[in-house]
Amino acid sequence: MKRYSAFAVAREGLRYHSGWDRAWRAAAPKRHYDVIIVGAGGHGLATAYYLGKNFGITNVAVIEKGWLGGGNTGRNTTIIRSNYLQDPSAAIYEKARSLYEGLSQDFNYNVMFSPRGVIMLAQTEHEVRGYKRTAHANALQGVATEWIEPARVKELVPIINLDGPRYPVLGGLWQERGGTARHDAVAWGYARACSDMGMDIIQQCEVTGVRTENGRVIGVETTKGAIDCDKLGMVVAGNCSVLSQMAGFRLPVESVALQALVSEPIKPCMDVVVMANTVHGYMSQSDKGEMVIGGGTDGYNNYTQRGSFHHIEETVRALVETFPMVSRLKMLRQWGGIVDVTGDRSPLISKTPVQNCFVNAGWGTGGFKAIPGSGWAMAELMATGHSPLAEAFSMTRFKEGRFIDESVAAGVAH
Amino acid sequence: MLILECPYCGVHAEETELQAGGEAHLKRFGPGSSDEAFHDYLFLRENPRGVHLERWRHVNGCGKWFHAARCTQTLEVFGTYRAQTSAPPQDIRDKITAKRPGWTWREFEG
Amino acid sequence: MSDAVSALNGAEFNGLAKVVETGLGGMITLRGDLASDRIKAAVKAATGTEVPATRRIAIGAAGAAAWMSPDELLLMVEYDRVGAVVAKLGEDLAGAHHMAVNVSDARACFAVSGPAAREVIAKVAPVDLAPGQFEAGDFRRTRFAQVAGAFWLDEAGVFHIVCFRSVAAYMFNLLSTAAHPHAKVGVYA
């Protein structure tokens, strides 16, 4: 594969850009792979990538029923942060954040990682106490965050309204090295690197069954025929219940719709990410100038990638309170994705009751930021049977009472 | 916008008048049951792509809990029925069967 | 004893419709088997009306009875009579499974009148208010923007709203905003 460089851009500029390779090969399934990953989203592709890079396992297929990065990877609001309260969460999200920093160099592909800083606003006394506690916890975990006072919030975000009608801004939890990345580019970069290692990325190939023998996975049935494998990784977010059912076990998740929207593009007005969890609105400005806005989840199971309109109203209401200037903005697009939510709102990176079958799911409303760390841990778990990063995220934690209660620590926007 | 008919007051309520209450017809397992059953009761919920039976409450209305039979893949509503039952009534099953022949949900089927 | 006052002291707004806080109203929550003869008789004695049909309000000489849910009515009588009526209900229904509670001071009442009254309500409640769909004597529990409330339409074309006293100011501001002279939609015009 040709490397991307300034020289290559100049060269192709002189010959009508006719010399670029496809970023990844279109592949037909082989009869057998060492590892099959179901789901070519960020987490699935990252798992495949680190299997190859860290463990030399390259006889890998990543199969996808739709198109690459077309699920939640292409539908999120691209926020990257690691300011979590609980140790296992802080560890994996910080691993992910630090991998994001070097991802573009790693891939030779620009994922547009922008460590512009993330503020989580504290708008009640409880949040103030909660975030101060998180800042202390982060200091112990080696995650660089700090508590900042309202004046500093205003300095970082001039367009903010500190004394809103319902909830004043009392301060914030500031993570300077948090930020955003181009979500599609993350999937494309991983796909290109996987393909370059000889892995097959097979799109429009839906898994219709999981074949097991004596409690051990031996392959999958797909719309492109049966494929054998030694190990299977299920990394399909909202559809993980459907897939686990095929393998004969159940996952402690429910699938709900989460929405996001973007405004018309405007001139640069906010160069950090702001999350307001009490009123539930979060917003950043993309390089195109659009304000990228995250909404809420519905309270009921839903596979339609379409949420209810009143959540948009609630989100926009929260934002108008927090940023009065957005009240005149027109919204350009709105969409939804299906997120799988566990009882403690923390993910599953786990062995399953079926031998050699692994699951990576339950990222709920905050999976994008975890992609590199999640893939790193999942690859380690699949290759060696043990991963320190993934250990706490086993699906047996519910039976053992070892919840990772970030829903309490992080509030809604997780 | 999801619209469910409350079987108690007859209102065709849109979802802002309602509150979702999760999986229907749960069997409770408490002290005395096995760890396995207690775990499943607490943490495992039906999450089907298709026919689903749920509890809802007409919270901004008559206040009553009721049941709904719904498709999670299309948001189609097959019908709603009263709370005082531990299984979907026959007319609801028939309505689901008319649209989704061969459906199954937990221990129930068309 | 101190003088009872309503939440907003009769606040008033004139716009597309007239919004008035109507002052103290006597209100009793009555729960029980609405189909039983004893409840029917007790309601008749208290308000002079029959037990209303589902989602209806029955208005009589001595008060009104509104259908809240399959086992609950809201009885409305003069504020000063509530104590006596609750006591009488207790006597009339002694031995029958029931509950009668004076909730007058937990509530605030509003009236919305004028040609755009229908539109003002429709703006803030998820209810089909098209003429023919909601008529005099209909009663509905719902939400008004972000708070719970109930309302009915009387024969004079006035909408009456009942909500919790704690959100009275919100309700008044909400209705006044919806009735702002510059906020006409004209959907039922």
* CB proximity list for B15: less than 8 A, separation 6 or greater: A308, A310, B1, B2, B3, B4
Tens-place pLDDT, residues B55-70: 999 999 999 999 999 9
Count of structural domains within chain A:
2
Least confident of A300-309, A379-388, C101-110: A300-309
pLDDT at A191 over 70: yes
Give the end of a domain, one of A342, A369, A390. A342
Integer Cα distance of A296 and A310 in angstroms = 10
Residue A410 pLDDT grade (very low, low, confident, very high; cuts 50, 70, 90)? very low
CB nearest to C54's CB, from B9, B63, B64: B9
Q: What is the pLDDT of residue C175?
A: 98
Q: Which residues pair with A312 in a beta bridge?
A: none
Chain B residues 46-75 with CB within 8 Å of chain A: 47-49, 52, 54, 72-75
Q: What is the pLDDT of residue A347?
A: 96
Is A277 inside any structural domain? yes
Is A90 inside any structural domain? no
pLDDT at A411 over 60: no
Chain B closest CA to A361's CA: distance in Å?
A: 14
Least confident of A305-314, A375-384, C155-164, C171-180: A305-314
Give the end of a domain, one of A293, A318, A342. A342
pLDDT at C112 over 70: yes
Residue A165 pLDDT grade (very low, low, confident, very high; cuts 50, 70, 90)? confident
Chain A residues 214-243 with CB within 8 Å of chain B: 239, 241-242
Q: What is the pLDDT of residue A413?
A: 46
pLDDT at C30 over 70: yes
Same-domain status, A155 and A259: yes
Q: What is the dihedral of CA A366, A369, A372, A375, to 10 degrees?
A: 0
Residue A170 pLDDT grade (very low, low, confident, very high; cuts 50, 70, 90)? very high
The helix (H) or strand (E) run that includes residue A128 is helix A125-141
Same-domain status, A68 and A187: yes
The domain ranges of chain B are 3-105
- Domain containing residue A192: CATH number: 3.50.50.60
Is A358 inside any structural domain? yes
What mean pLDDT is reported for chain A? 94
Same-domain status, A259 and A338: yes
Q: What is the pLDDT of residue A82?
A: 96
Same-domain status, A360 and A285: no
Query: What is the CATH architecture assignment of B3-105?
Result: 2-Layer Sandwich (3.30)
Q: What average pLDDT does the segment A97-123 reach?
A: 96
Is A89 inside any structural domain? no
Residue A414 pLDDT grade (very low, low, confident, very high; cuts 50, 70, 90)? very low
Give the domains, in start order, of chain C with CATH numbers: 12-23+106-178 (3.30.1360.120), 26-105 (3.30.70.1520)
Is A83 inside any structural domain? no
pLDDT at C25 over 80: yes
Residue A2 pLDDT grade (very low, low, confident, very high; cuts 50, 70, 90)? confident
Q: What average pLDDT does the segment C49-76 reach?
A: 96
Is A295 inside any structural domain? yes
Tens-place pLDDT, residues A266-298: 999 999 999 998 888 899 999 999 999 998 888
Same-domain status, A49 and A175: no
B-chain residues near A399 (CB < 8 A): 35, 39
Give the end of a domain, one of A342, A370, A396. A342
Chain B closest CA to A77's CA: distance in Å?
A: 23
Phi (first) and psi of residue A215, to 5 degrees: 75, 15
CB A100 within 8 A of CB A372: yes
What radius of gyration, in Å, describes the C-alpha atoms of chain C? 17
- Domain containing residue A143: CATH number: 3.30.9.10
What mean pLDDT is reported for chain C? 96
Is A263 inside any structural domain? yes
Do A300 and B54 lie within an 8 Å CB cutoff?
A: yes
Phi (first) and psi of residue C115, to 5 degrees: -60, -30
CB nearest to B75's CB, from A241, A251, A304: A304
Residue A407 pLDDT grade (very low, low, confident, very high; cuts 50, 70, 90)? low
Residue A354: give the domain boundaries. Answer: 21-78+183-251+344-410
Q: What average pLDDT does the segment C134-160 reach?
A: 97
Q: What average pLDDT does the segment B8-24 reach?
A: 95
Q: What average pLDDT does the segment B24-39 reach?
A: 94
Integer Cα distance of A292 and A181 in angstroms = 12
